[in-house]
């Protein structure tokens, strides 16, 4: 049985107790909901992989509420890392450090590094404080599903599989944190997010490279797996060609589907099921996973149309392309 907890002192205390005793608690952050366990308890961490159905070589992010906890888990904090920690944490960024041995291999998928994040969400910080141990947490979805951005989405995937769910606010950002690796010769963004390479580069005073080919950096195993996929077929259009989209829609209908077009076009498509993605890239990021989960319930074919070329758009494209399983129209 999963306990449904509120954000009050009593329930936060219960959530912290559950984590310290080796249980699993889902909690909100400003990016997406996380599924937390005591990062210092290997048995608890292993149960995360079971609850999610996640491959065990895909490492987890360790969450903290106070920067002083970094010294417990990172064996070295480089000058660059100092700069990023002081300028961008707390926030929607995760930084990879060399790890200390208190962090077991099951947290890091056998890597000698550990990814650390201090969220900015007040609710997340209150939960982490109540745990008072570093908390290993992936996104709180079943493996391959879109990340959850509301507690209801966590419930859909995790009801009965975890000890408790903190019913907090909807996530403001909507896509996962930027993962920044500072352990090598050059700063590398392993997963793009809302904190952009440009911002990081300004903080560091040097260029930051975005790893676009997952084969290049085996150090971030997460990027290899099927990800963010809705339950129904999905196709992605990148050129905004309305005739092409419209005729694909008509073909779906002819084939017996009840399709929907996910679009940024304010007028949508006449006589078609349409769902508005958002007016700005920040809005699209906020809505994307939420809408994929909504559309898979109402329709049975998702035709998404998206383009954009700034850095936030790049992060959205990274997610939406995977949702569509590289299925490009």
> Which spans of this chain sit near Mg ion (rule: CB under 5 A)?
139
Is 108 or 273 the residue whose CB approaches ligand TXA more closely?
108
* The two three-digit tokens of residue 27, written as one number: 């909690």
* The two three-digit tokens of residue 238, written as one number: 């990148």
Among 12, 18, 44, 61, binds ligand TXA (CB under 6 A): 61
CB-based contact 195:92 (threshold 8 Å): yes
Using DSSP bridges, classify how beta strands 301-305 and 113-117 pair: parallel, antiparallel or unpaired.
unpaired
Q: Which does 177 bind (CB under 5 to 8 A by kind): ligand TXA, Mg ion, none?
A: ligand TXA
* The two three-digit tokens of residue 245, written as one number: 């989209």
* The two three-digit tokens of residue 112, written as one number: 């000698």
Instruction: Please give the Cα distance from 281 to 59 (Å, whole number).
Output: 28
Q: Which does 291 bind (CB under 5 to 8 A by kind): Mg ion, ligand TXA, none?
A: none
Among 179, 189, 261, 284, binds ligand TXA (CB under 6 A): 179
Place of tokens 């939406």: 320
For 150, phi then psi, to 5°, come to -140, 160
For 147, phi then psi, to 5°, come to -65, 145
Quote the least distance from Cβ 312 to ligand TXA, whole Å. Answer: 15
For 128, phi then psi, to 5°, come to -65, -35
Among 222, 230, 259, 278, binds ligand TXA (CB under 6 A): 222
Does 139 help bind ligand TXA (rule: CB under 6 A)? Answer: yes
Does 39 help bind ligand TXA (rule: CB under 6 A)? Answer: no
Is 61 or 295 the residue whose CB approaches ligand TXA more closely?
61
Q: Given CA atoms 149, 288, 157, 60 in this order, what sign does their dihedral have?
A: negative
Per CB under 6 A, the segment of 9-17, 154-162, 221-229, 320-328 that binds ligand TXA is 221-229
Quote the least distance from Cβ 312 to Mg ion, whole Å. Answer: 19
Is 76 or 251 the residue whose CB approaches ligand TXA more closely?
76
Does 29 help bind ligand TXA (rule: CB under 6 A)? Answer: yes
Does 74 help bind ligand TXA (rule: CB under 6 A)? Answer: no
Quote the least distance from Cβ 322 to Mg ion, whole Å. Answer: 11
Does 128 help bind ligand TXA (rule: CB under 6 A)? Answer: no
Does 315 help bind ligand TXA (rule: CB under 6 A)? Answer: no
DSSP code, position 152: H
Does 32 help bind ligand TXA (rule: CB under 6 A)? Answer: yes
Angle (nearest 5°) at CA 295 between 323 and 310: 45
Does 114 help bind ligand TXA (rule: CB under 6 A)? Answer: yes
Instruction: Please give the Cα distance from 308 to 318 (Å, whole number).
Output: 12
For 23, phi then psi, to 5°, come to -90, 180
Does 219 help bind ligand TXA (rule: CB under 6 A)? Answer: yes
Q: Which does 111 bind (CB under 5 to 8 A by kind): Mg ion, ligand TXA, none?
A: ligand TXA
Q: How many CA atoms lie within 13 A of 84 on its CB side?
A: 35
Instruction: Please give the Cα distance from 197 to 175 (Å, whole number).
Output: 16
Give SS3 for 117.
strand
Is 80 or 301 the residue whose CB approaches ligand TXA more closely?
80
Residues near ligand TXA (CB under 6 A) are: 29, 31-32, 34, 58-61, 94, 96, 108, 111, 113-115, 117, 137-139, 176-177, 179, 181, 190-191, 219-223
């Amino acid at each position: 049985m999963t306990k449904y907890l509120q954000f009050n002192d009593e329930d936060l205390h219960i959530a912290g107790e559950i984590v310290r005793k080796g249980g699993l608690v889902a909690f909100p952050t400003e990016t997406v909901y996380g599924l937390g366990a005591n990062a210092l308890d290997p048995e608890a961490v292993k149960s995360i992989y079971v609850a999610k159905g996640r491959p065990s070589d895909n490492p987890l992010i360790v969450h903290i509420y106070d920067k002083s906890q970094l010294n417990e888990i990172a064996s070295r904090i480089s000058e660059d890392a100092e700069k990023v920690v002081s300028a961008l944490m707390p926030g929607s960024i995760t930084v990879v450090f060399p790890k200390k041995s208190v962090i077991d291999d099951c947290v890091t998928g056998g890597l000698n590094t550990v990814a650390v994040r201090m969220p900015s969400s007040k609710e997340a910080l209150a939960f982490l404080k109540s745990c008072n141990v570093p908390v290993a947490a992936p996104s709180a979805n079943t493996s391959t599903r879109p990340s959850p951005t509301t507690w209801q989405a966590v419930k859909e995937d995790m009801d009965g599989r975890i000890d408790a769910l903190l019913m907090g606010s909807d996530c403001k950002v909507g896509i996962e944190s930027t993962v920044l690796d500072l352990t090598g010769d050059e700063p590398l963004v392993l997963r793009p997010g809302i904190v952009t390479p440009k911002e990081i580069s300004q903080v560091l005073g040097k260029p930051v490279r975005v790893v676009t080919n997952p084969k290049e950096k085996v150090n971030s195993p997460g990027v290899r797996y099927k990800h963010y996929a809705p339950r129904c077929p999905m196709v992605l259009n990148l050129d905004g060609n309305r005739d092409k989209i419209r005729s694909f829609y008509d073909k779906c209908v002819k084939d017996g589907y009840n399709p929907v077009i996910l679009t940024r076009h304010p007028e949508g498509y006449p006589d078609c099921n349409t769902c508005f993605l958002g007016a700005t890239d920040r809005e699209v990021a906020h809505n994307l996973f939420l809408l994929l989960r909504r559309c898979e319930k109402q329709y049975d074919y998702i035709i998404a149309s998206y383009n954009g070329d700034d850095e936030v758009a790049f992060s959205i494209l990274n997610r939406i392309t995977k949702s569509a399983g590289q299925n490009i129209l």
